[in-house]
Amino acid sequence: MNLNASRTVSIVVPVFNEEESLPLLHEQVARTLAQMDGCTHELIYVDDGSSDGSLEVCRELYARDPEHVRVISFRRNFGQTAAMAAGFDAARGEVIIPMDADLQNDPNDIPRLLEKIKEGYDVVSGWRADRQDTFLSRRLPSVLANRLISAITGVHLHDYGCTLKAYHRDVAAHMNFYGELHRFLPVLASWAGARVAEIKVNHRARQFGVSKYGIGRTLRVLLDLITIKFLLSYSTKPMQVFGKWGLYALCVGFFAGLMTLGEKLLINQDVTDNAWLFVCMFFSLGGLQLICMGLLGEINVRTYYESQKKPIYTVRERLGGSPSP
């Protein structure tokens, strides 16, 4: 999957109250991109309902360089993931590179990301090895979250949260953005069969404004991790997960039923006062419910894939036969 000689790069920048940083960021990114040979570019600023002058700054940048700048402005604040999704949807480049608007990512890393894409990787993930954020509220939760995500998803990266990454457009087309899922994009891409690489990138302290997140983000990331794990493993076979636990529960219920019956028949114990009876009822009903949920899940999966004619696989290349769809 090599890049064409005249490759186009789309830089996607989610913007939420970053009026002071934007002019500097634009200057730095435009300078870096202009120095790169054989590469055309576009800069997509997505204003995520800013309440400061960010949108005016974006408009000015567009007025100065309409050939390279594009601006999308949301009606209200929809969140960073939504802003990135809008940028990815609008991007026309062969490679899409999201980056923060607050100057914490270094535009000088863009050529290195592109080099790695040229080597044949579909996703190149930035790793803020020397992260310039507070330790207790940002770096420590991030290290723990990254380890957990790595262990649970099986996609081994050091820094999922770094916005600066490069995506080949072929894999970006397969990624859906929901919730706070933007940090799991390499996982989704890898799930779609992408080749994922990681490089160390520079990270700078925030010069202007304040971070838009607090410690509460860790919780949201954890919830998304559960969603991602479920989607990764079972989104095409929900009966396999619900049905399995349903069967286990039914077995426990059956065993408890036998115990109740045994105690009644052998030692004539009063079943209304028997703990096994409750275990039997609870697990039998729970098991049946889980199996029913699995069946409902199967119906949902079919509706999801068949109504949108979504394949349950992704193809890298076809040789011979009919052309790829």
Task: In whole angstroms, give the CA distance from residue 47 to residue 87.
Answer: 10
198 Cβ partners below 8 Å, 6+ apart?
Answer: 124, 125, 126, 127, 157, 158, 159
Give pairs for 67-73: CB < 8 Å, separation 24+.
68/30, 68/41, 68/42, 68/43, 69/26, 69/42, 69/43, 69/45, 70/42, 70/43, 70/44, 70/45, 71/44, 71/45, 71/46, 71/47, 72/44, 72/45, 72/46, 72/47, 73/46, 73/47
Contacts with ligand UDP, 194-233, as mask; x by CB under 6 A? -----------------xxx--------------------
Contact assessment for residue 217 and residue 146, using Cβ atoms and an 8 Å cutoff = no
| DSSP annotation string for 174-217 | T----TTGGGGHHHHHHHTT--EEEEE--B----SS--S--THH
Applying CB under 6 A, does 18 fall inside the site for ligand UDP? yes
Applying CB under 6 A, does 287 fall inside the site for ligand UDP? no
Task: In whole angstroms, give the CA distance from residue 137 to residue 216.
Answer: 10
Residue number with CB closer to ligand UDP (14 or 126): 14
Applying CB under 6 A, does 83 fall inside the site for ligand UDP? yes
Applying CB under 6 A, does 48 fall inside the site for ligand UDP? yes
Among the listed residues 104, 125, 142, 153, the single contact to Mg ion using CB under 5 A: 104
Please work out the total of residues on this chain that contact ligand UDP, with binding judged by CB under 6 A: 16
**Of 97-105, 120-128, 164-172, 173-181, which part binds ligand UDP (CB under 6 A)?**
97-105
Contacts with Mg ion, 62-101, as mask; x by CB under 5 A? --------------------------------------x-
Q: How far is the CB of 19 from Mg ion (least distance, A)?
A: 15
Contact assessment for residue 210 and residue 269, using Cβ atoms and an 8 Å cutoff = no
What three-state secondary structure class fits 91? coil
Applying CB under 6 A, does 77 fall inside the site for ligand UDP? yes
Applying CB under 6 A, does 159 fall inside the site for ligand UDP? no
Applying CB under 5 A, does 102 fall inside the site for Mg ion? yes
Q: How far is the CB of 16 from ligand UDP (least distance, A)?
A: 3
Contact assessment for residue 207 and residue 103, using Cβ atoms and an 8 Å cutoff = yes
Task: In whole angstroms, give the CA distance from residue 68 to residue 112.
Answer: 21
**Of 12-20, 175-183, 185-193, 218-226, which part binds ligand UDP (CB under 6 A)?**
12-20
Among the listed residues 45, 69, 79, 239, the single contact to ligand UDP using CB under 6 A: 79
Residue number with CB closer to Mg ion (18 or 198): 18
Contact assessment for residue 113 and residue 199, using Cβ atoms and an 8 Å cutoff = yes
The kind and range of the H/E element at 280 are helix 275-307
Applying CB under 6 A, does 16 fall inside the site for ligand UDP? yes
Applying CB under 6 A, does 101 fall inside the site for ligand UDP? yes
Residue number with CB closer to Mg ion (100 or 198): 100
Residue number with CB closer to Mg ion (94 or 102): 102
Interacting residue ranges for ligand UDP, rule: CB under 6 A: 14-16, 18, 48, 77, 79-80, 83, 100-102, 104, 211-213
Interacting residue ranges for Mg ion, rule: CB under 5 A: 100, 102, 104
